[in-house]
Structure 1
Amino acid sequence: MMKSAIFLIAAIIQFSYCASESDIEVLLSEISDLTLSEDGKLNFTQLVTKYGHTAEQYEVVTEDGYLLTVFHIPGNRSSILLAHGLVADADPFVIRGHGSLGIALADEGYDVWLLNNRGTKFSRSHTELDPDNEKKFWDFSLHEMGYYDLAATIDFVLYQTGEEKILAIGHSQGPSQFFALTSLRPEYNEKIKLFLALGPGAYFFNMPPLFQVIADAGPLLLELAKTLGIEELCRDRGALLTLIKTVCTKGIVSYEICVKGVIFPILGYNPAGFELSFLRTLFGHAPSGFSRKCLEHYDQLYLRKKFSQFDYGVLENLSKYGLSNPPDYDLSKVTADVALMAGKLDELSLIENVKLLKENLPNVVHFEEIEETTHSDFVLSREASIYLFPSIFSLLQNYD
């Protein structure tokens, strides 16, 4: 099974490079023959409107020239910024309707802002670089998405609202970005009332067997992708994404292959929170694009067992950092109030690793283990309103 997983990933990488336009069109026609749910067909703005709110869209320019789309659901309570995880964008925060975190916060009156990182389908442009023809566009990982994307979005929200501080919630990679930003640019600690980290990705000790096998093979697979010239993964309507959506929207067969075969073993097993019919909505919106370098950075975090900056190799590290190894992110400089929530069923952000993160952060005001919650359940579970939202709303109330 483990060797098969490696061969499957390698095959997907090969297909994403070699598929012709006709191959992609055939797969797209396969998808069009399927019936997505109504919510699977609606875009972000249409979903927010359907569930009783107004959606606004803005463009934010980062210091290094990336053009980010930021969504806004106006409310009359405190402003709160939502930061998504890897392989995602703002969509998962609204695709469960009133059972989604973004909509639920808006239902409670919060002024909701949603980040879309560089490389996602909403933020795939730059003031100078062409994402289709210039590899330099894709030269980023969680580091740049924290240092530039999150910083620019926080500043934009503060400017638009006139507030001195905002609330923020991040899932998975979202906390990684926040800790990178606030450790390197400590002034951003003063701009956050509370940062709530859901299933934070920082430390990766004692990971499940399937994760270990894939991560151990990561350097080889990522080098294969680099050799093939693949810098963008999950491009909207690209070969890889089209293949995923085709395979994963075939009813019960798709549930067995994509959910039970891939999602549950890596992210955690909870069929009660991730039902078969949800595939018709989820794969109308996910996954979203990101860079090969993002995966490489996370693979390094696992292999090095440290929450550190990107490892470019000894010579380039010496040139960039003045050190042979990349420096760790100094978590002692993350002085903002931080709340940590770990899912008891989460196989990617393990509870013991979140506890280790807690020990290394100076100002953790809340730590909680959430029942019946996997890594993806933090944003996708149909039972989030039972196991997650009460804790979140209770915590936010103290800072509102």
Structure 2
Amino acid sequence: MSTRMGWTHLLSVLSFTLAGVADGLSEQRGKTKFPRTFGESAIRRIIEDNGYGYENYTVTTDDGNLLNLNRIVHPNRTGSDRGYPLLLVNGILVQSETWLVQPKLDHNLGFVFADNGYDVWLGDQRGSMRSKGHVNRTIDKSKLWDFSYHESGIYDLPAFIDFILDKTSHKDLIYTCMSLGCTFHTVLGSKRPSYNQKVRAAVYIVPVVNNVRRIEQLTIPVYMLYKLIPILMPILEEAGMIEWFPNMENLKKLLYLACRAVGPVPYWLLMRLLFGSGFHIQYPNVCDAVVSLGGGNPKTTSHIHQVFHKGDLAEYNFGREENMKRYGTEQPPLYDMSKITSPIAFYYSDVDSFTDSEGLQRTIKSLGGSSYTCELPNFHHLDVAVGTTARFVLPDMIDLLNSISGKSNDTEKFKSGKCPSMEWIRHLQ
């Protein structure tokens, strides 16, 4: 990609930043207002306190789980047609607030998408704070928490998608995800391929997919955790521990108060230790970002561990004997990527601790549909949520969404296959 094209894209970013976004709330608006509540109502408070309307729905999955689904209502679009629907789903241990915790309003993907004319829905997958219920109130807790990212893919996403399409009368939507939320979609497209028709395109941001380098790119603390997981899991199972951080609200309060008391430096250093020395965390925003924590379970963690151990996305490994009963093979089957026909855009970085570009390219080659790639220099795993670099990617994402949804006349954006060079970002960090 030529230097001229790179600088042309930089000028478009500067224009985007100076002009703001395109629908009603377009002026530069300053800081995001964060609530001082950390319970289930925090998402409502963040959305409403920053000038948007909020709607909340309970969605029932095919296996009876009750999931929370949030909707951002733009003040200029309160009628029946609120724009083309976007479903945003995050990764492990966090919840919908993750899309809204940048310190500046115009850097938050959830708000920026709404400002640009999209009907933004935020889904809380099973196991997060607001999605722990079941239609059977007497269900055994161990059964309720017996899930991994596989169940989120085959049950949670279909429930979200069907509800949104029914509510909006649209025939399809755009799915946007970060981290493990992208793995959910990979599972959905391969195991329930009929949903490819309901997802016009998916936008993967720092996805967890096939991983070739696997262990060598992990930071030392994460590597140590990786080595401990096979030892810890049987112990946790024996002890009956089925959920990480059952009282997440109190934990978040404690983390916030501790952060305010000692300052954000220790947390900032911890994040850099976990995600790499180049992690561009928003230093003033560390304390507020704890509102995005949502919870999870050991089995999902174990399933992620299996991805790094083998390097391939496969169904859950229960051990040879149980695998034979469930799958008819000693090893769990790989997800068949060729069944995923929805177009997918990949925003990724080779310094991401959880996905390497070689594994991502292998994933792309195995897909049954078209792809668009955008490599982000020095972009770390949590940068999209709390990093300083996310804002530089927003113009390309908006252009891409407009091209896919038909909001713009540029229908060739996705077909071009890749974004303009983002190498110039390196010089702005």
Is 1:357 matched with 2:363? Answer: yes
Cα deviations by residue, 1:171-222 (Å, 9 ceiling, x for unpaired): 1111100010110110000001110011110223323252333212210122
**Paired amino acid for 2:218:** P
**Unaligned runs of at least 5 residues, structure 1:** 1-36
State the shift of 1:78 in Å.
1.0
**Paired amino acid for 2:324:** L
**Paired amino acid for 2:115:** D
**Paired amino acid for 1:277:** P
After alignment, is 43-52 or 237-246 more displaced? Answer: 237-246
State the shift of 1:362 in Å.
2.9
Contact 2:99 2:108 in 1 (8 A): yes
Is 1:121 matched with 2:121? Answer: no
Question: Which whole-Å CA distance do the structure 1 matches of 2:252 and 2:243 have between them?
Answer: 11
1:316-395 → structure 2 map (5 Å cutoff): 316-385=322-391, 387-395=392-400
SS at match of 1:58: strand
Contact 2:219 2:274 in 1 (8 A): no
State the match for 1:189 in structure 2. Answer: 196
Cα deviations by residue, 1:41-82 (Å, 9 ceiling, x for unpaired): 252112112222111000000011100010011353211000
Cα deviations by residue, 1:229-264 (Å, 9 ceiling, x for unpaired): 211003344786676556555444x533x3323x22
Contact 1:269 1:345 in 2 (8 A): no
Going from structure 1 to structure 2, the CA distance change for 1:239 and 1:232 (only over 3 Å counts) comes to: farther
Pick one of 288, 298, 301 that aligns with 1:295. 301
Going from structure 1 to structure 2, the CA distance change for 1:106 and 1:342 (only over 3 Å counts) comes to: same
Identity of aligned residues (%): 25
SS at match of 2:404: coil
Is 1:398 matched with 2:403? Answer: yes
SS at match of 1:153: helix
Is 1:255 matched with 2:295? Answer: no
Pick one of 304, 310, 313 that aligns with 1:307. 313
Question: Which whole-Å CA distance do the structure 2 matches of 1:358 and 1:67 have between them?
Answer: 33
Question: Which whole-Å CA distance do the structure 2 matches of 1:236 and 1:91 have between them?
Answer: 18
SS at match of 2:225: helix
State the match for 1:235 in structure 2. Answer: 246
Cα deviations by residue, 1:129-150 (Å, 9 ceiling, x for unpaired): 558x621111000000010001
SS at match of 2:314: coil
List structure 1 segments (4+ residues) > 3 angstroms apart after TM superposition.
Answer: 236-252, 268-271
Going from structure 1 to structure 2, the CA distance change for 1:130 and 1:301 (only over 3 Å counts) comes to: farther
**Paired amino acid for 1:78:** Y
Question: Which whole-Å CA distance do the structure 2 matches of 1:247 and 1:220 have between them?
Answer: 30
TM-score, normalization by structure 2: 0.78
State the match for 1:208 in structure 2. Answer: 218
Number of equivalent positions: 357
Contact 1:195 1:339 in 2 (8 A): yes
Pick one of 228, 234, 237 that aligns with 1:217. 228
SS at match of 1:205: coil
Going from structure 1 to structure 2, the CA distance change for 1:326 and 1:248 (only over 3 Å counts) comes to: farther
State the shift of 1:276 in Å.
2.9
Question: Which whole-Å CA distance do the structure 2 matches of 1:90 and 1:149 have between them?
Answer: 14
Contact 1:53 1:106 in 2 (8 A): no
SS at match of 1:41: coil
Question: Which whole-Å CA distance do the structure 2 matches of 1:309 and 1:86 have between them?
Answer: 17
State the shift of 1:359 in Å.
2.1
State the match for 1:107 in structure 2. Answer: 115
Pick one of 16, 35, 39 that aligns with 2:34. 39
After alignment, is 141-150 or 217-226 more displaced? Answer: 217-226
Contact 1:90 1:116 in 2 (8 A): yes
State the shift of 1:277 in Å.
2.1
Question: Which whole-Å CA distance do the structure 1 matches of 2:224 and 2:211 have between them?
Answer: 13
Pick one of 277, 280, 285 that aligns with 1:278. 285
Question: Which whole-Å CA distance do the structure 2 matches of 1:83 and 1:94 have between them?
Answer: 12
Contact 1:51 1:103 in 2 (8 A): no
RMSD, matched Cα: 2.2
SS at match of 2:98: helix
**Paired amino acid for 2:116:** E
State the shift of 1:391 in Å.
1.5
Going from structure 1 to structure 2, the CA distance change for 1:356 and 1:251 (only over 3 Å counts) comes to: farther
SS at match of 1:394: helix
Contact 1:268 1:348 in 2 (8 A): no
Contact 1:340 1:358 in 2 (8 A): no
Contact 1:234 1:288 in 2 (8 A): no
State the match for 1:53 in structure 2. Answer: 52
State the shift of 1:113 in Å.
0.7
Going from structure 1 to structure 2, the CA distance change for 1:310 and 1:247 (only over 3 Å counts) comes to: farther
